[in-house]
Amino acid sequence: MMRKKRRSSVDKGENDAPHDITKQKKSRTTGRQSKQTIQEESNDGVFGAFLREAGVILRQGGTSNEIAVDHVVFQKRMQQQLRKSPRYPGIVQEFITGLESHIEDPERFRNCLLPCVPRTSDGDSSSVSSFQESLLRMLLGIEMLQTSVINTLFEKLPEFMFNGTADGGLNIPRVIVNQLKWLDRVIDSKDLATKLMQLVSVAPVEIQRDIITSLPEILEDSQHNDMARELNSLLQENTLLTVPILDALSSLNLSSSLLAEVRGAVMATLAAVQLEDLPVVVKFILHSISTSDAHEVLWELRKKLELELCVLPPVLQASQSRLKSKDTAVSSATPVAGSSQDSVALVLDGVKSAVRFQKTISEGWLKAIENVDKAEDHKVIDLLVLLILHSTNANHSRRGAERLLKIKVRTGQIQETLLQKTFRGYAQVMRGYFPSILALAQSLLRSPDSCVVPFGGHMYRHSFTAFDSYCQQEVVGSLVTHVCSGMGGEVDVALELLCGLVADKPSEMALYAVFVKGILDYMDNLAPQQIRRLFQLLSRLAFGQQQQGIHIQDDMHIVIRKQLSSTAPKYKRIGIIGAVMVVGSMGARRPKMEGSQGGTLPQETYRQVTALLELVRSCSESSPEAAALYYDELANLILNSTLDPLVQDWIVKSVLDNFQDDFVVDLGTDINNGSFPFPACVLYNLEEEESQDGIAVNLLPLLADDVRHKGELWNQPEKTQKRVSPLCLSPFFRLLRLCEEKQHQGDLEEIDALLGCPLVLTDMDVMDKLESLSKAEKEFLCNLLFHTINWFREVINAFCKQKETEMKIKVMSRLQNITYLQTLLEKALAATPGYVPPLANFDGENIEGVSLSSSAAPPNKAKKEGTGKKRKASGKNSSGNGSQLEEGTEADETQQEQPEKEKEKEKEKEARPGVSLAAYRPFFRELDMEVLSVLQCGLLSRSLLDSELLTKVREEVLLGPAELVFLLEDMLRKLEFSLTAAHAKRTPFLKGKTDKSVGFSHLQQRSPKDIASCCVQLLPTLCSHLENCHNHFQTLLSENNGVVDGPATNIQEHHLLSSAYQLLLQVLNTTFSWSGFSQPAQRSLLKSALGVLAGRLKEEGAELSLEQLVKHSFEYLLNFRSTVPSLGTALCLSQLLSTVSERGGNAAAYGEQTASLARRFLSQEWVTASGERERGNKFNEALQTLLSVYLEHTDDVLKAVEEIAGEGIPELLNVAKDDGSTTWPTLSRQTFLVFYKGMMAELDKAVRRIPAGRVGDSTEVQSEKLLTWNLAVRDFHILVNLVKIFDSRPVLNVCLKYGRLFLESFLKLGMPLLDYSFKKHKEDVQGLLKTFQLSTRQLHHMCGHSKIRQDTSLTNHVPALKKSLELFVYRVKAMLTLNNCQEAFWMGNLKNRDLKGEEILSQKPQESEEEEEEEEEEGSELPQEQSEDEAQESDSGRSKKGKRVEDGDQDDITDDSD
């Protein structure tokens, strides 16, 4: 059959038009007859003779055919011979027949396929080049033979199809196909293509691949599109041919529509493609993308590219191979795992090259990833592509990838689980992008946005875990750089990460201990808590149980001894902190060892620990501050570490006896046996039996002794008696208490006498004679009060967790003592200007530099609202009232009782107010978070107190209003410190002298999550207090017929409870504002917090969704709106509602309720308990914020502004000076500026949100935007004209500032709209410009007024405003020119006038501005179509026309005055 096929080609040798194979079959018989009639020899003779004459000699066996001439000469001679033969054209058939019979022999066929060798026998080879084509290829180059030779080859090829590789490694089918490549001309390209595809349909896979890969090199361009369609259909049928087909397709020259069709088909097969073929498929898709369809294609590619599945095969194959043969499991799984990673790497390389060379692809990837809006929809490929984009050199890709990653992390769409999955499955691939991973981690860690910082930390951690030692070294080096940067938040996170790595990978981290040790040179920039963390991680490395970092132990000892022996307090502090952290690591409890007496430490280690403790103690004896710090640090160590029993016992022994000796005296002794500035007496005893054998804290004598020896050295050897500083009292007691807790599992029975024992103080009547005391006596008294308050604070820290009622009552009494003593302290401080209190927190910089100027502050310097450490009242009353009221309250609730009349007298008598204790917060001991559990007691208000209930109060421990305020203020400060965003607490470049973290040492050692969890546990209690306050004010309103300041109102209690109300709302707001709640990991905590609020409204039913919880919480909080006692409280409630509504992810749904609530508060008259209108700076600040809350949430800002400006302000003109508007009672002449500034700012924000006009806008859209702008311009006109009535300097300042901003917005966003709308809405546009022109003229007058007044605060705004007014003139002219109406524009000089419109004559010639008008266009047709096409889509602004003219001559000027 094969022979018959081959012969048939001879009959058709002269036919140029090819026939298909079925036609060839018909001619088989004729072929056979002709073949038989021709002698084999003669045929071979024709074939051989022609070749010889043309210059080729045929050889037999293994010898190659020889050629004596160049192949071009051969082809030319051959063609001439055939043409000149008398038998032409029949001779061609004879020649082909000769060829066929010659190549019957496989050996000769092979010779014809291989290159001919130059003939050298005659020695003349100079005319032949060294490389020659094969005989068959040269014959294919002869046009008259080409078709027949091709047919012959195609008939010959099936003989070798299934032979595989022949002897000598020659693949005959491949060599045959190669003959067809790169022919100078193909006579019948279509027929050749058909034959090739027919061959593909029957050939084995290997040959199919060869043929398909060669197609682009065989076919002419005209055949490319047809061939692509055939290949496309073949691709659907046979996935084995994916790679060669795509190879061929990518080399074919295709039309864009066909390319899109092919790409679509390829995309459809993506899911089924073999893993090793995936890189080719992806590369083809990426290289076939055009600018127009990049986004759609990449979106689909991203969706179908499931790299997650690429990691599964090794796991599955390993498990399958285990079933078959456990012996080969490992060997079979390993290569597969490697190859899957290699395939992924190749896919990513394809992506990388596409991104690098085509900007549209990088933008398309960014867009595709950006459009994924759910965390669960993000895939590994997203993270990998972001790394690729970041690793390219193109800045736009790098910045775009970084920006997108931050957005995705901030919104919680890319989470740590995805990062973990990527590192776990693709570590080998990720390693190639390590520089990008490191750069992104650095950027995230430095970000001021606290939501993205943890993700940067995860990137560092996973890089260290997954990569090789080079990368680990880079990670550690980068983290060390972060620590040394000195930026607060960055340092904390980096230290935390280093500590985590030391805990998880101690042996790996030990290799880089020397890097970490380098941080010791940069400790000057670190805060105390950061120094603790640093020494903690270094001591773990150096002295940990495995001793991995043993090589840095000596360095650590050297550094610590050097710091301890320093005379500079700063370095001594670092030495003490470092030494105690080292003790913590060396003396940590270990598994039980042999040879250790009762402890778990080796004898030598125990000796080293105690020696180090002795060294620190002896070094810290030189100053009371150092000793106090040593006690505090030891206390922290006891609290936070599990020490070896022997070490713990050593510390306890040295503490208990010393405390009694140093600070406690028996009551039986004579306490007045020394010379003291004031007579001593025992106060604040809570023990019932007044026996003489009790104990007391010996404060006054110690303080007097301390003052007497002030300036002497502490450790003078000749002193026989040890000196004790009262500074150490509280720290030493804290250490004692924590040792007791550790020894007795929380039971403090052995030291509970210290809770109720009295102090040796002086009679507080001395406060009445403050004026007559000397400065030294006043300072002594202040010192005494500070030490007493700090003792009580530390006592409350110790005993607040005790459960017995008696203990709780004593704790409550100590709280009352504190609140009472603070009122005394405020008065004492006010009388002692320039006084600096004793230190109470010893781990920070000494606070001599703290600004305490408030101690001599004038009466109106009110305390900071909600930031004073002590019980400060809410912000509306002056601090003086606060302290007097509180003193009265305290006097009632503690043992110091005063008759009612005396208190009234004192209130009137007391002219000078106390000072705010806010500035003195660093000088008070820190209260622990546990103290807040005292809030769980009920609230005791004056209305509950009568003779019958007094006894019950003692049985059921109740919290007084003053104590409630005290605890809430402390809680609010703690939350603001822990839960507010890190960047809000960022250290400024030039550090101030005050350190914001002073007084929060214990708090800093707890994570924000812990703090948030504590708050959630306290939420039910806080809600109860909130409801109590609500009920109190509701009762008050009903008793007084809706009047706040009725005769029955108790001013003191009203003041304290309104403070408590406000603080409770602020605490809730700070809690719910915590950025951590937006992280998926804290979602359950957020739900439980909202569940508490929702549960107060109705009983818990089924599990509620987050949205439902937010809805119920919002409804619950809304119920408090009727009883808020002050505007500040009202604002806090509005902010809390806003915060809660944002937690549901659909804050807009609550916008209307928030706006109506804010409006209700703005429309309410606020009076104090004494019946006066609320006023003052704090009131104005709250009012401004509340107004912005209203305008931000209202549906129509422009309408709301018009309502206030158009209705509320005119009402002001008709009422008395101090009265407010009837519609908006909060709007009065005193608050006009607040409203004016708020409306101007919100109007500016509102117009910025109006979309700019675009060419393609429909008529309806244009009309809608024009209407919005008309409203905005009208509002602006009303507001600008108000300056004529309210012309104070601050109002002018606001008008000039926001006037310019409004003008710029109009030019940028409004003028493009007028450009395109002018034709269709001519009257509307003209009306808008006329209204606006009136406003700009008024602005011009204000500029003139500012210059006359020569007020720099006003004239600063003038140049920029004048520039905008001038731009406006030109912009209107351009708009009219665009619409062919330039004749409607005329311009003149505007006279300089003042605010009242009177001409300014006294000025030298100076610049003036003009605003212009359009004349009516009478029926002028505006045929210009192109005006709409030329419109720009940019944000251009809308503004006035003003033209700058030098107006020296003003006589020819038309004046359009208002």
pLDDT value at 708 more than 50: yes
89: preceding bond cis by omega (within 30 degrees): yes
CB of 460 closer than 8 Å to CB of 480 = no
d(CA 1062, CA 901): 30
CB of 1244 closer than 8 Å to CB of 1237 = no
Position 716 scores a pLDDT of 53
pLDDT value at 16 more than 90: no
Kindly state the helix (H) or strand (E) to which residue 675 belongs, with its residue range: none
What are the pLDDT digits (tens) for 246-301?
888 888 888 888 888 888 888 888 877 888 888 888 888 888 888 888 888 888 88
pLDDT value at 818 more than 90: yes
Q: Would you tell me how many other CB atoms lie within 10 Å of the CB of residue 273?
A: 18
pLDDT value at 1209 more than 50: yes
pLDDT value at 1102 more than 50: yes
Position 302 scores a pLDDT of 86
Position 593 scores a pLDDT of 56
pLDDT value at 860 more than 70: no
> Which among 396-405, 865-874, 1404-1413 has the top mean pLDDT?
396-405
Position 246 scores a pLDDT of 83
CB of 1414 closer than 8 Å to CB of 1376 = yes
CB of 1332 closer than 8 Å to CB of 1444 = no
pLDDT value at 944 more than 80: no
Could you tell me the pLDDT band of residue 1007, with boundaries at 50, 70 and 90? confident
Q: Would you tell me how many other CB atoms lie within 10 Å of the CB of residue 565?
A: 12
Burial of 1038 by CB count in 10 Å (0-12 exposed, 13-18 middle, 19+ buried)? Answer: exposed
Q: Are strands 958-959 and 938-939 parallel, antiparallel or unpaired?
A: parallel
CA angle 1360, 1365, 1367 (to 5 degrees): 95
What are the pLDDT digits (tens) for 1229-1276?
888 899 899 999 999 999 898 888 777 778 888 888 899 999 999 999
d(CA 1020, CA 1010): 17
Could you tell me the pLDDT band of residue 1423, with boundaries at 50, 70 and 90? very low
Q: Is 760 helix (H, G, I), strand (E, B) or coil?
A: strand
Structure-token pair, residue 540: 């773990």
Q: Among 129, 134, 201, which Cα is nearest to 172's?
A: 134
Burial letters 373-407, b for 16+ CB under 10 A, else e: eeeeebbbbbbbbbbbbbbbeeeebbebbbebbbe
**Side-chain-facing half-sphere of 467: CA atoms under 13 Å:** 24
Helical packing angle, 624-640 and 569-586, nearest 10°: 30
Could you tell me the pLDDT band of residue 181, with boundaries at 50, 70 and 90? confident
Q: Among 101, 201, 192, which Cα is nearest to 147's?
A: 192
Residue at 469: amino acid letter: S
User: Which DSSP symbol is given to 764?
Assistant: G
Residues paired with 1385 in a beta bridge = 1414
Q: Would you tell me how many other CB atoms lie within 10 Å of the CB of residue 806?
A: 15
pLDDT value at 871 more than 60: no
Higher pLDDT, 741 or 1408: 741
pLDDT value at 919 more than 80: yes
Burial of 1258 by CB count in 10 Å (0-12 exposed, 13-18 middle, 19+ buried)? Answer: exposed
What is the rounded average pLDDT of the residues 627-652?
90
Higher pLDDT, 952 or 224: 224
d(CA 1249, CA 1264): 14
Give the per-residue SS3 of 1215-1254.
CCCCCECCCCCCCECCCHHHHHHHHHHHHHHHHHCCCCCC
Q: Are strands 680-683 and 759-762 parallel, antiparallel or unpaired?
A: antiparallel
d(CA 80, CA 71): 14
Give the per-residue SS3 of 541-589.
HHHCCCCCCHHHHHHHHHHHHHHHCCCCHHHHHHHHHHHHHHHHHHCEC
Structure-token pair, residue 228: 């692509």
Write phi, then psi, for 2 (nearest 5 degrees).
Answer: -65, -40
Q: Among 369, 365, 387, which Cα is nearest to 379's?
A: 369
Contacts of 1319 (CB under 8 A, 6+ apart): 1379, 1422, 1424, 1427, 1428
Write phi, then psi, for 66 (nearest 5 degrees).
Answer: -110, 155
d(CA 633, CA 37): 117
What are the pLDDT digits (tens) for 32-82?
433 333 333 344 578 888 888 888 888 887 788 888 888 889 989 988 988
Least confident of 212-221, 870-879, 1046-1055: 870-879
d(CA 716, CA 1040): 69
Q: Among 152, 146, 153, which Cα is nearest to 183's?
A: 146
What are the pLDDT digits (tens) for 717-775?
444 456 788 999 999 999 999 999 988 888 888 888 899 999 999 988 888 888 898 99
d(CA 844, CA 752): 31
d(CA 1315, CA 1430): 9
Q: Among 2, 17, 3, 21, which Cα is nearest to 147's?
A: 17
Contacts of 252 (CB under 8 A, 6+ apart): 215, 216, 224, 227, 228
Could you tell me the pLDDT band of residue 1025, with boundaries at 50, 70 and 90? very high
Q: Would you tell me how many other CB atoms lie within 10 Å of the CB of residue 510?
A: 21
What are the pLDDT digits (tens) for 346-388?
888 888 888 888 888 888 889 999 988 888 889 899 999 999 9
Burial of 1098 by CB count in 10 Å (0-12 exposed, 13-18 middle, 19+ buried)? Answer: exposed
Position 1150 scores a pLDDT of 87
- What global pTM score does this model have? 0.74
Structure-token pair, residue 1050: 């108790």
Structure-token pair, residue 147: 């078709």
CB of 2 closer than 8 Å to CB of 158 = yes
d(CA 839, CA 826): 18
d(CA 1242, CA 1190): 10
CB of 344 closer than 8 Å to CB of 427 = no
CB of 765 closer than 8 Å to CB of 798 = no
d(CA 273, CA 1030): 68
pLDDT value at 500 more than 80: yes
The distance between the two most distant Cα atoms of the chain, rounded to a whole number of Å, is: 153
What are the pLDDT digits (tens) for 595-605?
545 567 888 88
CA 415 to chain centre: 12
What's the mean per-residue pLDDT of the chain? 79
Kindly state the helix (H) or strand (E) to which residue 81 belongs, with its residue range: helix 71-84
CB of 1046 closer than 8 Å to CB of 1039 = yes
Structure-token pair, residue 673: 């046996």
